[in-house]
A = this chain, B = another copy of it.
């Protein structure tokens, strides 16, 4: 029997193995009321509740639900609540212009839309059949429901989410992420980045970026605490690391720079020394920045490369044992490249002498 791979595998494990752990610590400071802390058992229940809500809307399996939002617990629950019930989640970059967002909503065929309160004025006039400003009103509809949702027959080839590229050369292009693509990316990312149930994850990466590079599924399987961060701010990142014992974060090079700047003004020992790994992609940072992550923060720098179109992880560059004895500068030079193929991505063959002599009894 072939068991279909779906994103539910990750939350199912989080719920079954770590029900009482805190799954989500919502951003305390945001326009909508903070959702506070949500356990894994509760997150599993929210998935059920959102399924019931979509049934009430009359959304067929495969229907699209869009959300334009900063990082928030409401956004995070929706990856599981929407895709986990057979509908397609469309997380939209809140930095896009109104016409671009309109285009994406139209193009994706979204039948339901949730908008961050901060964007309410900017996006006025955009609506679809069912539209909410995120907060008490949307919570009252989407959460807290009784009942059992219409069952979804797990299908790994079904689309879980659609991520729109930034549209630098043309209109944004929608990349349909299948459950299988999400699953394999999340498992391999977890393996190669060494994600364990001792990690604490800080959302320094926008979740709309290819479903947070898939890392939001990865850490969920391990019962990891998701600490939501609404806006990148170096000092705030250091405070959250300190407060929550964060060990893992992802982001663009700008996140690294923000943390380094804040560290220069930080009073006392930098939190997370020897325990935090920061996974960086988007553009290769300068070697000097990479070196400073080691020397000034004492954090591990991991570089990855990928495309939304590849789900996204293709390569990873993480310090190898062979580099342990190098100077911090030499190590930073090694880490300034995109790295090596992860398992399952197709490496080019490496030209190298590799014949192997047959042993003889001499």
Query: Complex formed: what's the CA distance from A4 to B196 in Å?
Result: 27
Of B143, B183, B349, the residue contacting A16 (CB under 8 A) is: B349
Query: Complex formed: what's the CA distance from A188 to B143 in Å?
Result: 32
Contacts of A34 in B (CB 8 A): 359
Query: Which A residues, 143 to 187, have Cβ-Cβ distances below 8 Å to chain B?
Result: 143-144, 157, 178, 180, 183-184, 187
Does A358 contact B198, Cβ atoms closer than 8 Å? no
Of B3, B36, B341, B358, the residue contacting A344 (CB under 8 A) is: B3
Query: Complex formed: what's the CA distance from A187 to B186 in Å?
Result: 11
Of B19, B35, B143, B354, the residue contacting A39 (CB under 8 A) is: B354
Contacts of A35 in B (CB 8 A): 359
Tell me whether A195 is interfacial, beta carbon within 8 Å: yes
Does A354 contact B41, Cβ atoms closer than 8 Å? yes
Query: Which A residues, 31 to 61, have Cβ-Cβ distances below 8 Å to chain B?
Result: 33-36, 38-39, 41-46, 49
Given contacts A13-B341, A19-B350, contact A358 B143 (CB under 8 A): yes
A344, A346, A356, A361: residue with the most chain B Cβ atoms closer than 10 Å: A356
Q: How many residues of A contact B (CB 8 A)?
A: 69
Tell me whether A242 is interfacial, beta carbon within 8 Å: no
Query: Complex formed: what's the CA distance from A141 to B196 in Å?
Result: 45
Contacts of A129 in B (CB 8 A): none
A274 to chain B, nearest CB (A): 16
Does A354 contact B2, Cβ atoms closer than 8 Å? no
Contacts of A42 in B (CB 8 A): 354-356
Contacts of A45 in B (CB 8 A): 354-356
Does A191 contact B197, Cβ atoms closer than 8 Å? no
Query: Complex formed: what's the CA distance from A157 to B140 in Å?
Result: 46
> Which 10 pairs from chain A and chain B are nearest by CB?
A16-B347, A41-B354, A191-B191, A42-B356, A17-B340, A144-B358, A221-B343, A143-B358, A190-B191, A45-B354
In the assembled complex, 14 residue pairs joining A and B whose CB atoms fall closer than 8 Å, in A order, are: A13-B341, A15-B349, A16-B341, A16-B349, A19-B354, A20-B352, A33-B360, A34-B359, A35-B359, A41-B350, A136-B361, A191-B195, A197-B320, A221-B343
